[in-house]
Amino acid sequence: MNDALLSVRNLSVSFSTYGQTAEVLKDVSLDVPARSQIALVGESGSGKTVTMKAIMGLLHHPPATITGGQIFYDGRDLLTMPARERLKLRGTAMSMVFQDPMSSLNPVFTIGDQMGTILKYADRRLGRSRGKVERMARVHEVLGQVRMRDPERVTRSYPIMLSGGMRQRVLIAMALLSEPKLLIADEPGTALDVTTQAQILKLLKDLVEERGLALMMITHNLGVVRETSSYVYVMNKGVVVEHRPTAELFASPADPYTKALIGAVPRLTGGSGFGRAGAAA
Amino acid sequence: MSAMLEIVRLSKHFPVRNGFGRQTGEVRAVDDVSFSIEKGKVYGLAGESGSGKSTIARMIMGLTRPTSGDILLDGRNITGDTGTRAYGRKVQMVFQNPGSSLNPRRTVGQSIAVPLDAHGHPRSDRTRRIVELLEMVQLPAEFASRYPHELSGGQKQRVAIARALAVVPQLIVLDEPTSALDVSVQAKVMDLLVDLGRQLELTFLFISHDLSLMRNFAQQVGVLYLGKIVETGPTATVFENPQHDYTRLLLASVPVISAEEAAMRPVIPLIDGEIPTAEQLLALRNAGGPDSQRIEQ
Ligand SMILES: Nc1ncnc2c1ncn2[C@@H]1O[C@H](COP(=O)(O)OP(=O)(O)OP(=O)(O)O)[C@@H](O)[C@H]1O
Ligand SMILES: Nc1ncnc2c1ncn2[C@@H]1O[C@H](COP(=O)(O)OP(=O)(O)OP(=O)(O)O)[C@@H](O)[C@H]1O
Ligand SMILES: [Mg+2]
Ligand SMILES: [Mg+2]
């Protein structure tokens, strides 16, 4: 154990389906210090989302089994603490933002209703309570923090009435409702246009700086890693193959997988030279 | 010099209807668009979601009828004739999602046989040709008997390319061909397209959100905004010296992995500390011109 806000130690996870067992995380260790911005990068199926779910306590058993390791939050092991204690932390001290705003919002309730309900349950878990008016005030405050121009209108809107970028902002606002110390973002903005994605990434960066949060950015996009993190973990097939300061990783990648990954990214400056290597399988 | 594809003042308007089915207006999905692609070259079409890219592709493929304008293929006006054999033979398309464009109940070989049969390829030669096409996209011959669910995303996309090549087209329309793929797989598919393009002298219309990818594949680009081409020219020129605010915003938004690339991105003024939308930026320009402030890294 160390003094990072979040510390994952030697985490291993297996999935059992149809009598077959697959180890999808092998001995994964990573640290997220308070107020830091770290990234977890890897290709599809490398285990990024499973890592996030293990941290947030969202893995279902069966099919998932945590076969080894610890996950420390603020010095306490989430995997051995009583379920009720753990529930108190989820969505409050540690929050998350998902990739697809539409599937994480309920189409039949207004944004205000949904945010109010989330806050009510978060308060209840923490043994707090506040009235409806106070709750709405907090909802408006948070929508303001994610730079929504007209919070009152947004709270009265149904998800379908908002643009993709606005929905993503709503999800970020939801994650901020209970003033978390740690925000885990799984591919935020990838479902959006590149211009809207740039706005969302900047917003996240500004928020973690303003509010002193720690950010764990999960992405398959190395450009996003460079723009949003100062330390990066590279994952391949359930294993962390390399971790270092982001600038160093791009300057001198050490692991062959990382090198290949960086080499495959087309450059805005040109000269990536497709076709020259020949189309090897 | 001769153009393989020429698009002349092409427009497509869709009716907008209210809840009672009455037309209340129209969307100008494609608005007076003109460009041409030289034989053997790649033309890239960029632009945000809903800017009209796929609608242009569908009109070229004869799947959507233009409201006005002309489409010339190898000098011949094809605006009217859709879905005919001679036409299908010259133009083929590869779609964004390889999973949904392949029939799950057909084997790879059966999928590739469809265009061969439709164009009267001799049955006796079918198996040989299928193996040849699989070889072209670097897949082993035994893949002919596999079903789509037995393939990875990159392998499916190669099958889609093999199918598009089956009847030796002159023009291939690629609508976001790699956006569902990991970068390492994307690199292989792009390598393949470049090699095949050279070998078979193919002409490509390449539609993509990914400007870094476009920079490395297309010789000419056009930037679509609200159905209009707001900027077009040689890729290097447009990327190194973008003239239109929307192009500048698009380039400024690309997440990059090196300082050289970051330095190449245009400087966009922030509005209330935020990156503006294209609408805000253009409104600001019309109101008297934005002053520059660097987007903080
Ligand atoms: N519910 C499940 N049952 C069985 N296997 C699963 C389940 N969820 C995930 N896996 C497997 O675990 C591995 C890691 O998946 P994960 O979702 O973490 O990948 P990822 O890195 O998030 O990929 P992507 O970039 O595609 O989101 C994959 O091989 C996946 O097939
Ligand atoms: N059949 C249709 N009926 C009505 N409107 C349509 C139809 N097809 C497209 N549109 C509209 O035309 C515009 C252009 O759509 P198009 O699919 O060409 O965009 P695109 O540039 O390909 O976007 P994306 O990047 O999201 O694929 C959009 O406003 C869309 O809603
Ligand atoms: Mg994932
Ligand atoms: Mg499209």
Report residue A278's pLDDT band, with 50, 70 and 90 as the boundaries. Answer: very low
Task: Evaluate: CB of A220 within 6 angstroms of ligand 1.
Answer: yes
Lowest mean pLDDT among A29-38, B92-101, B244-253: B92-101
* Whether residue A281 has pLDDT greater than 60: no
Residue A227: predicted pLDDT = 94
Q: Do A274 and B186 touch (CB under 8 A)?
A: no
Q: Could you tell me the residue ranges of all domains in chain B?
A: 3-296
Contact residues on chain B for A255, CB-CB shorter than 8 A: none
Closest residue CA from atom 30 of ligand 2? B50
Closest residue CA from atom 31 of ligand 2? B50
Report residue B24's pLDDT band, with 50, 70 and 90 as the boundaries. Answer: confident
State the nearest Cα–Cα gap between B182 and chain A, in angstroms.
6
Tell me: the pLDDT tens digits for A73-119? 999 999 999 999 998 898 889 999 977 767 789 999 999 999 999 99
State the nearest Cα–Cα gap between A56 and chain B, in angstroms.
26
Give exposure, A2-32, as e/b (b: 16+ Cβ within 10 Å): eebbbbbbebbbbbeeeeeeebbbbebebbb
pLDDT (average), residues B75-87: 73
Atom of ligand 2 nearest to the CA of B224: 21
Report residue B293's pLDDT band, with 50, 70 and 90 as the boundaries. Answer: very low
Mean pLDDT of chain A: 91
pTM of the model: 0.91
Contact residues on chain A for B162, CB-CB shorter than 8 A: none
Q: Do A194 and B215 touch (CB under 8 A)?
A: no
* Whether residue A255 has pLDDT greater than 50: yes
* Whether residue A244 has pLDDT greater than 90: yes
Task: Evaluate: CB of B51 within 6 angstroms of ligand 2.
Answer: yes
Task: Evaluate: CB of A63 within 6 angstroms of ligand 1.
Answer: yes
Sort strands B220-225 and B203-207 into parallel, antiparallel or unpaired: unpaired
Q: Name residue B259's amino acid.
A: A
Task: Tell how far the Cα of B88 is from the centroid of ligand 2, in angstroms.
Answer: 23
DSSP 8-state assignment for residue B61: T
**What residues 57-76 of chain A have any CB closer than 8 A to a CB of chain B?**
none
pLDDT (average), residues A261-266: 94
Closest residue CA from atom 25 of ligand 2? B49
Residue by residue, DSSP assigns chain A as --S-SEEEEEEEEEEEETTEEEEEEEEEEEEE-TT-EEEEE--TTSSHHHHHHHHHT---TTTEEEEEEEEEETTEETTTS-HHHHHHHBTTTEEEE-S-HHHHS-TTS-HHHHHHHHHHHHHHHTT----HHHHHHHHHHHHHHTT-S-HHHHHH--GGGS-HHHHHHHHHHHHHTT--SEEEEESTTTTS-HHHHHHHHHHHHHHHHHHT-EEEEEES-HHHHHHH-SEEEEEETTEEEEEEEHHHHHHS--SHHHHHHHHHSPPTTS---TTTS----
Residue B205: predicted pLDDT = 98
pLDDT (average), residues A115-128: 92
Residue by residue, DSSP assigns B129-157 as HHHHHHHHTT--GGGGG--GGGS-HHHHH
Ion ligand 3 — residues with CB < 5 Å: A 49
Q: Do A262 and B257 touch (CB under 8 A)?
A: yes
Residue A253: predicted pLDDT = 95
* Whether residue A260 has pLDDT greater than 50: yes
Q: Which chain A residue shows the shortest CA-CA distance from B212? A: A268
Q: Cβ of A275 under 8 Å from any chain B Cβ?
A: yes
- Angstrom CA distances, B206 to A132, A135, A142, B46, B216, stand at 53, 50, 41, 9, 12
Q: Do A278 and B195 touch (CB under 8 A)?
A: yes
Q: Do A268 and B261 touch (CB under 8 A)?
A: yes
Q: Give the mutation target among B12, B27, B60, B178 for probing the ligand 2 site: most ligand atoms within 8 A of CB.
A: B27
State the nearest Cα–Cα gap between A276 and chain B, in angstroms.
7
Q: Cβ of A271 under 8 Å from any chain B Cβ?
A: yes
Residue A231: predicted pLDDT = 98
Tell me: the pLDDT tens digits for B103-128? 999 999 999 999 999 888 999 999 99
Helices assigned H by DSSP within chain B: 53-60, 85-90, 98-101, 108-118, 126-136, 153-165, 183-200, 211-215, 235-240, 245-252, 259-264, 278-286
Q: Do A43 and B184 touch (CB under 8 A)?
A: yes
Which candidate from A43, A197, A265 shows the least CB-CB separation from B257?
A265
Residue B78: predicted pLDDT = 86
Residue A246: predicted pLDDT = 98
Task: Evaluate: CB of B49 within 6 angstroms of ligand 2.
Answer: yes
Torsions phi, psi for A153 (to 5 deg): -65, -40
Q: Which residue has the higher pLDDT, A270 or A281?
A: A270
Task: Evaluate: CB of B27 within 6 angstroms of ligand 2.
Answer: yes
Contact residues on chain A for B195, CB-CB shorter than 8 A: 275, 278-279
Residue B18: predicted pLDDT = 77
Residue B86: predicted pLDDT = 62
State the nearest Cα–Cα gap between B219 and chain A, in angstroms.
11
State the nearest Cα–Cα gap between B97 and chain A, in angstroms.
14
Residue B289: predicted pLDDT = 56
Which candidate from B48, B188, B256 shows the least CB-CB separation from A193?
B48
Q: If you search the block for the tokens 């402030």, which residue do you land on?
A: B293
Tell me: the pLDDT tens digits for A128-178? 889 999 999 999 999 999 989 899 999 999 999 888 889 999 999 999 998
Task: Tell how far the Cα of A235 is from the centroid of ligand 2, in angstroms.
Answer: 37
Ligand nearest to the CA of B52: 2
Q: Are B157 and B177 in contact (CB under 8 A)?
A: yes
Residue B281: predicted pLDDT = 84
Instruction: Answer yes or no: CATH 3.40.50.300 is held by domain B3-296.
Output: yes
Q: Give the bridge partners for B171, in sequence order.
A: B91, B203
